Amino acid sequence: MRALSAAETAATTHPWAIHAEGLQVRAGRQLAVNGLDLALTTGVHGLLGPNGAGKTTLMRSLATVLTPSGGRLTLLGRPVDGRSDLRPVRRALGYLPQHFGFYPRFSVREFVGYMAWLKEMPKGAIPAAVQRSIDRVGLTTKADARLKTLSGGMLRRAGIAQAIVNDPQILLLDEPTVGLDPEQRLDFRELLRDLGTDSCVLVSTHLVEDVAAACSDVVVVNEGRLVWQGTPEAMTAQGDPGHAGDSPAERGYTTVLRQHRTEATR
């Protein structure tokens, strides 16, 4: 008997915010995502995987920046196949890329407002939404500072503010905590938990501790495929004290990855 997928065993009829089946996405010449199955709904999902696993490529395809070259991808029930109109999906998306371009002379407020405009938010709603997102990332006192004057951590927070300005139904954050100091990371975890109450949030990171502390679900990818999915507690419980990692969650993650590699070579 074949194993049932998460989509088939779900207790709810609520459509998946993100649903990928056998997804393939090219990065340059190679298939960096190659046969990935994923079904995600409301909550905070941590995306873990070693360097080169395909996390950024996956994020870019979910952000509709890259078009899948095989398999199926639906976002909020709409197919992403290079043919359908993606504007309704893009209005409901928030994306913090790993590296984002910006106009250095823009203030934080101008930058976030500009992104709100690009997302086709109603004009009258933009100023209040911009202020709220700037406040949520703790940049209130820097709202009118130019981007070029911000520290790396502050710039990252401005990037998060633009990603959340439209209250996205799908929020994709690629390495959001890079450059944040420990206090800011704690604040950010709280913000994540808050955002995940009514959005589908996918956070790519190398910081297993952030995932353990702030996520309701962990997705581990390797070589372009999903290799494990479960709660942070279930991942931690996999931990073998003999494996690398400073914390129980890191040992759990390393064990999951090594088990997968062992099975793959059998």
Ligand X SMILES: Nc1ncnc2c1ncn2[C@@H]1O[C@H](COP(=O)(O)OP(=O)(O)OP(=O)(O)O)[C@@H](O)[C@H]1O
Q: Is 27 in the site for ligand X (CB under 6 A)?
A: yes
Q: What letter represents residue 164's amino acid? A: I
Using CB under 6 A, which of the segments 51-59, 108-116, 209-217, 231-239 binds ligand X?
51-59
Q: Say whether 240 sits in a helix, a strand or coil.
A: coil
Q: Is 52 in the site for ligand X (CB under 6 A)?
A: yes
Question: Which string of DSSP letters, residue by residue, matches 40-66?
Answer: E-SEEEEEE--TTSSHHHHHHHHTTSS
Phi, psi of 84 (to 5 degrees): -80, 160
Q: 233, 201 in Cβ contact below 8 A?
A: no
Q: How far is the CB of 36 from ligand X (least distance, A)?
A: 11
Sole binder of ligand X in the list 51, 141, 262, 265 (CB under 6 A): 51
Sole binder of ligand X in the list 43, 54, 159, 252 (CB under 6 A): 54
Q: 68, 35 in Cβ contact below 8 A?
A: no
The structure tokens listed for 243 are 């494996």
Q: Which helix (H) or strand (E) holds 129?
A: helix 126-136
Q: Say whether 24 sits in a helix, a strand or coil.
A: strand
Sole binder of ligand X in the list 17, 36, 46, 57 (CB under 6 A): 57
Is the CB of 30 or the CB of 149 nearer to ligand X?
30
Sole binder of ligand X in the list 18, 20, 23, 32 (CB under 6 A): 32
Q: Is 99 in the site for ligand X (CB under 6 A)?
A: no
Q: Is 205 in the site for ligand X (CB under 6 A)?
A: no
Using CB under 6 A, which of the segments 23-31, 66-74, 133-141, 177-185 binds ligand X?
23-31
Residues that bind ligand X (CB under 6 A): 27-28, 30, 32, 49, 51-57
